[in-house]
């Protein structure tokens, strides 16, 4: 329900002025008592307090203490109100008005245990007083005892009347216990009082879904749709519930109406199944709905591979070994779809199983030679495995199919660079800059490639400058700029940029570069310091080991 109520608003019996208190017997005290009452009725509380205190000096009557207790509450002197109220009860312990007043005062002071003590005494004498029963419930709620509170609320609902405030309290308590059956039943009672309250209907339907009682949830949602037939959110909920009941035909019929279509084709049905599968991250029930739809689609469309693929994929979470064998079987039976090879390959790829991913992608690329995605994914997988020779033909084929693709241009540039194919590298970047003249990743990679070759260093420096202008805190771009400066023998400025890169993201390459810069400046001790630190991060780096040995 998620409704919040102000605490004291829900105590209707408290704060009401009662005039049932006993009057003093002494004539003079009575005269002052009446004068005080007159001031009180005119809301002149201070004058009334003064007169009541004068009367009290003449006669210590319970009624005077009670009157003063209420007035001290009115002027927010609650401790005095408590003191005088307790004195009234001491003199006349059977007066229920006095006990009601003192319970009220304890509530204001936050002493709910003491308030409950007096409410219980009132309840014993007035067990049929709805206000008393309700306030007992609220006291138990205040004391964090909802299981006791609900007994009093149920007493009112079952034996007296439906009261909106009481029912709302009951619904909140039932929901806090995950007792959705009683939550729904209570909200249904609220709906008899407010049959058009749309928020109550939403709450009732949501509670029925949690039970789960899909029939009643649909009944409530259909009531909403009867007055607002174009409510797409409710239509969607009804469709979900039909799927959860395995009533797929009806669900798809309603879905087609929602989509303003005469019928729903296979791919649209698959989209629904996949949507439920994706929703299962937050809603476990959605996974069963997705599974049910896929199983039905597998039966209805036996020549389509997608339902079987996604069923295997769903099962792979619990049994990955079995899933891999099922994927192999599926590929052996269905080898006419490039998309299937992509999906199965991605199953391995997203788990970082690059070798089986590359094998699946490669098989697909060899069957579908003109498929850009399969060629690119095969090349990318081999590149990530460090097998640039294997990656090369597939990336080149992907580039041939889509010459402007940034990912292919970037990866192929790195492969050419690693294979020392300088002429091809230059030609590739010249082509790349025609399509992406200001792409800072391409600019950085080519600038660094030129610096490693020691060629076109001024041109490389200009390219690298563009990257740090756009991303001044990128350690890779700062390192490239510093490394080009090193190659130009501007060691002082090279050290500034590489040092900034190290502070932003230290790694062995940056430390190695800083060692080289200090060696170039003739500062051997500092060079050794950075190389040793780099070697600690990459103990197997033979190049750095040789630099250290050379200086020793």
| 289 located within any domain | no
Non-local CB neighbours of 237 within 8 Å, separated by 6+ positions:
205, 217, 221
pLDDT-derived band at 277 (thresholds 50, 70, 90) equals confident
| Confidence at residue 235, expressed as pLDDT on a 0 to 100 scale | 83
Half-sphere exposure in the Cβ direction for 71 (13 Å, CA): 24
Q: Which residue has the higher pLDDT, 41 or 321?
A: 41
Decide if 370 is inside a domain.
Answer: no
Q: Is the pLDDT of residue 14 over 70?
A: no
Phi, psi values for residue 543, rounded to 5° = -60, -45
**Nearest-CA neighbor of 217 among 238, 243, 246, 248?**
238
| Predicted confidence (pLDDT) at residue 237 exceeds the cutoff of 80 | yes
In a domain, residue 511? The reply is no
Residue 444 lies in a domain: no
| Cis omega (within 30 of 0) for bond into 212 | yes
Over residues 185-204, the pLDDT tens digits come to: 999 999 999 999 999 999 99
DSSP state at residue 23: P
3-state secondary structure 135-167: HHHHHHHHCCCHHHHHHHHHHHHHHCCCCHHHH
Domain of 21, CATH number, reads: 1.25.40.10
pLDDT of residue 19: 39
pLDDT score, position 34: 92
Residue 283 predicted with pLDDT over 80: no
How far apart, in whole angstroms, are the C-alpha atoms of residue 417 and residue 414? 5
**What pLDDT does residue 255 have?**
80
pLDDT digits (tens, 9 = 90+) for 146-171: 999 999 999 999 998 898 999 999 99
In a domain, 452, yes or no: no
Grade residue 7 by pLDDT with cuts at 50, 70 and 90: very low
- What is the average pLDDT across 345-349? 93
Q: Is residue 393 part of a domain?
A: no
pLDDT of residue 21: 52
Q: What is the mean pLDDT of residues 219-246?
A: 86
Residue at 464 is within a domain: no
pLDDT digits (tens, 9 = 90+) for 526-547: 999 999 999 999 999 999 999 8
Higher pLDDT, 248 or 326: 326
**Domain region containing 102:** 7-143
- Residue 512 has what pLDDT? 92
What average pLDDT does this structure show over 422-438? 94
pLDDT of the residue at 13: 37
pLDDT tops 60 at residue 15:
no
pTM of the shown model: 0.60
For residues 418-427, give the mean pLDDT.
94
Q: Say what the pLDDT of residue 505 is.
A: 87
Query: Which percentage of the chain shows pLDDT scores above 70?
Result: 96
Tell me the pLDDT band of 81, cut-offs 50, 70 and 90.
very high
- Name which of 268, 245, 273, 244 is nearest 257 in CA terms: 268
Instruction: Return d(Cα 150, Cα 167) in angstroms, integer.
Output: 10
* % of the chain at pLDDT higher than 90: 74
Using 50, 70 and 90 to split pLDDT, how confident is the model at 430?
very high
Query: Is 10 a residue whose pLDDT tops 70?
Result: no
Measured in residues, the chain has a length of 552
Is 378 in a helix, a strand, or coil?
helix
Residue 353 lies in a domain: no
Specify the number of domains making up the chain.
1
What is residue 244's predicted lDDT score, i.e. its pLDDT? 83
If 0-12 CB within 10 Å is exposed, 13-18 middle and 19+ buried, where does residue 196 land?
A: exposed
* Mean pLDDT for the chain overall: 89
């Amino acid at each position: 329900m998620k409704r919040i109520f102000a605490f004291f608003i829900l105590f209707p019996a408290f704060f009401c002025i009662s005039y049932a208190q006993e009057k003093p017997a002494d004539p003079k005290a009575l005269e002052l008592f009446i004068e005080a009452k007159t001031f009180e009725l005119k809301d002149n509380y201070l004058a009334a307090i003064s007169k009541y205190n004068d009367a009290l000096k003449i006669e210590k009557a319970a009624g005077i203490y009670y009157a003063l207790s209420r007035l001290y509450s009115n002027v927010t002197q609650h401790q005095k109100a408590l003191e005088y109220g307790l004195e009234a009860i001491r003199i006349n312990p059977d007066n229920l008005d006095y006990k009601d007043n003192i319970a009220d005062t304890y509530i204001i002071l936050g002493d709910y245990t003491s308030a409950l003590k007096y409410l219980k005494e009132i309840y014993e004498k007035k067990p049929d007083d709805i206000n008393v029963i309700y306030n007992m419930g609220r006291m138990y709620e205040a004391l964090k005892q909802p299981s006791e509170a609900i007994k009093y609320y149920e007493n009112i609902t079952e034996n007296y009347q439906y009261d909106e405030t009481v029912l709302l309290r009951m619904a909140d308590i039932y929901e806090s216990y995950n007792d959705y059956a009683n939550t729904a039943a209570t909200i249904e009672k609220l709906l008899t009082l407010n049959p058009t309250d749309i928020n109550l209907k939403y709450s009732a339907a949501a509670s029925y879904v949690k039970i789960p009682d899909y029939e009643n949830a649909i009944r409530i949602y259909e009531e909403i749709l009867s007055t607002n037939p174009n409510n797409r959110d409710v239509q969607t909920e009804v469709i979900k519930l039909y799927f959860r009941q395995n009533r797929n035909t009806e669900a798809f019929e309603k879905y087609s109406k929602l989509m303003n279509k005469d019928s729903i084709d296979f791919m649209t049905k698959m989209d629904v199944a996949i949507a439920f599968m994706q929703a299962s991250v937050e809603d476990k029930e959605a996974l069963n709905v997705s599974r049910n739809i896929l199983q039905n689609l597998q039966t209805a469309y036996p020549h389509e591979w997608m339902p079987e693929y996604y069923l295997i994929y769903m099962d792979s979470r619990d049994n990955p070994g079995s899933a891999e064998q099922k994927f192999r079987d599926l590929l052996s039976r269905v080898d006419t779809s490039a998309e299937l090879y992509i999906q199965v390959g991605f199953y391995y790829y997203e788990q970082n199983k690059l070798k089986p991913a590359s094998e699946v992608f490669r098989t697909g690329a060899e069957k579908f030679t003109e498929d850009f995605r399969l060629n690119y994914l095969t090349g990318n997988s081999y590149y990530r495995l460090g097998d640039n020779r294997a990656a090369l033909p597939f990336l080149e084929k992907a580039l041939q199919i889509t010459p402007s693709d940034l990912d292919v241009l970037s990866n192929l540039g790195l492969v050419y660079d690693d294979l020392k194919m300088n002429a091809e590298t230059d030609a590739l970047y010249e082509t790349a800059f025609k399509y992406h003249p200001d792409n800072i990743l391409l600019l950085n990679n080519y600038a660094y490639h030129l610096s490693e070759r020691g060629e076109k260093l001024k041109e490389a420096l200009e390219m690298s400058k563009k990257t740090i202008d756009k991303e001044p805190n990128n350690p890779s771009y700062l390192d490239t700029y510093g490394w080009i400066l090193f190659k130009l023998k501007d060691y002082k400025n090279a050290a500034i940029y590489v040092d900034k890169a190290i502070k932003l993201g230290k790694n062995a390459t940056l430390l190695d570069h800083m060692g080289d810069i200090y060696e170039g400046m003739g500062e051997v001790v500092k060079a050794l310091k950075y190389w040793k630190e780099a070697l600690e991060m990459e103990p197997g780096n033979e190049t750095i080991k040789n630099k250290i040995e050379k200086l020793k």
